[in-house]
Amino acid sequence: MSDIRVGLVGYGTAGAFFHAPLIHATAGLALAAVVTRDPARQAEVAAKYGAAAVGDVDALWGLCDLVVVASPNRTHVSTAGAALTRGLPVVVDKPLARTAEEGRELVRLAKERGLMLTVFHNRRWDGDYLTVCRLAREGRLGEVLRFESRFERWRPRPKGGWRESGGPEEVGGVLYDLGSHLIDQALHLLGPATQVYCESDVRRAGVAADDDTFVALAHAGGARSHLWMSSMAARLGPRFRVLGSAGAFVKYGMDVQEERLRAGAAPGTPGFGDDEESRWGQLGTEPDHRTVLTEPGAYLDFYRGVEAALREGGAPPVDPESAVDTLAVIEAARLSATQGIVAHLS
């Protein structure tokens, strides 16, 4: 059976460090073409993957069976819509769109065309998050009461680029970037949110988009999520602190897969997703807790799920409607921060 030819739109951080190596390592997929105008990146694409480098999206359509959109956030909707209109299934890097309504339009278009649409919410396959899910599933936390989750960094000097300097039209800032992951994980674990409260600030000179944001969710099932995303955290809090009726789980340190992808490690090699023992989390109560092995991270499972969905016609690894739910929370969070209110979701 021939490989599914993948066309990748964008070869910046997301395309080069996440999508390209994961696609290349997935049996049944072949990176056939990449849209990038940068000569150095064009040479890298050819040397590492044997893929064609094209200068614009219109040159991509006849070269692939699947389109992966990893270009700047403002282009996600237009590029994904163009691919779906041409009869091509699509993977879109998060966030799916700027608004929930834009996301719904893409979902409707995919359904009308009978095409797969999915969103790269890869952090569902972080080893630490998989560990939280396992502990909750096994009942070792009891009823989950509060889910605290952080993506914090210490970057007092801006890096520049559209994520920091662009206005709302760029779909930049940490709420759309890191918050997309944190909100998706909270909804995936605890179900829909009914109320959203947000504090969002721009702390650094020369930055136009939010770089220090907090979101609190009340879930329909009774649990609450507290989510921190910041570029101004000089001391990092725990990645997870999950409080349950029977005990708590506390974990420091980020999932290792991004670090290893950036270092050039090949996904799928033995130990690629394994956490260092020194960073394993603690489960239990204050007087009685023990170390818990971190589940292996498994980003490859996302693209394995994409390949299986296209071959077998099953569900994609991430339901795009769940990505729309995340966008609805982001919109409610922006409203809350702007007006100083608790926003309610129906």
Same domain, 217 and 96: no
Cα atoms in the Cβ-side hemisphere of radius 13 Å centred on 10? 22
Contacts of 178 (CB under 8 A, 6+ apart): 151, 229
> Which domain does 187 fall in, by range?
123-299+328-344
Same domain, 27 and 81: yes
How far apart CA 202 and CA 284 sit, in angstroms, is 37
In a domain, 323, yes or no: no
In a domain, 320, yes or no: no
Same domain, 51 and 191: no
Q: Return the CATH number at 59.
A: 3.40.50.720
Which of the 8 DSSP states describes residue 122? G
- Which amino acid, residue 227? L
How far apart CA 279 and CA 274 sit, in angstroms, is 11
In a domain, 319, yes or no: no
Same domain, 46 and 127: no
Q: Return the CATH number at 138.
A: 3.30.360.10
Q: Helices 127-137 and 178-190: crossing angle, nearest 10°?
A: 20
Residue ranges of the chain with pLDDT lower than 70? 167
What per-residue confidence (pLDDT) applies to 78?
97
In a domain, 321, yes or no: no
Query: Would you say 180 and 174 are in contact if contact means Cβ atoms under 8 Å apart?
Result: no
In a domain, 245, yes or no: yes
10 Å CB burial of residue 64 (0-12, 13-18, 19+) is buried
Q: How many domains does the chain have?
A: 2
Distance set, CA 142 to CA 115, 176, 247, 248, 311 (Å): 40, 31, 7, 9, 39
**Tokens in use for 75?**
């282009």
Q: How far is CA 141 from the centre of its chain?
A: 25
What per-residue confidence (pLDDT) applies to 1?
76
Same domain, 157 and 63: no
Helix (H, G, I), strand (E, B), or coil: what is residue 110?
helix
Same domain, 140 and 115: no
Same domain, 277 and 174: yes
Same domain, 145 and 268: yes
How far apart CA 203 and CA 220 sit, in angstroms, is 33
Same domain, 39 and 133: no
What per-residue confidence (pLDDT) applies to 165?
76
Same domain, 27 and 131: no
How far apart CA 230 and CA 125 sit, in angstroms, is 22
In a domain, 231, yes or no: yes
What per-residue confidence (pLDDT) applies to 222?
97
Q: Helices 178-190 and 320-339: crossing angle, nearest 10°?
A: 110
Same domain, 133 and 102: no
What per-residue confidence (pLDDT) applies to 99?
96
Query: Would you say 175 and 334 are in contact if contact means Cβ atoms under 8 Å apart?
Result: yes
What per-residue confidence (pLDDT) applies to 346?
77
What per-residue confidence (pLDDT) applies to 81?
98
Same domain, 157 and 91: no
**Tokens in use for 136?**
């909750």
**Tokens in use for 110?**
């995919």
How far apart CA 164 and CA 168 sit, in angstroms, is 11
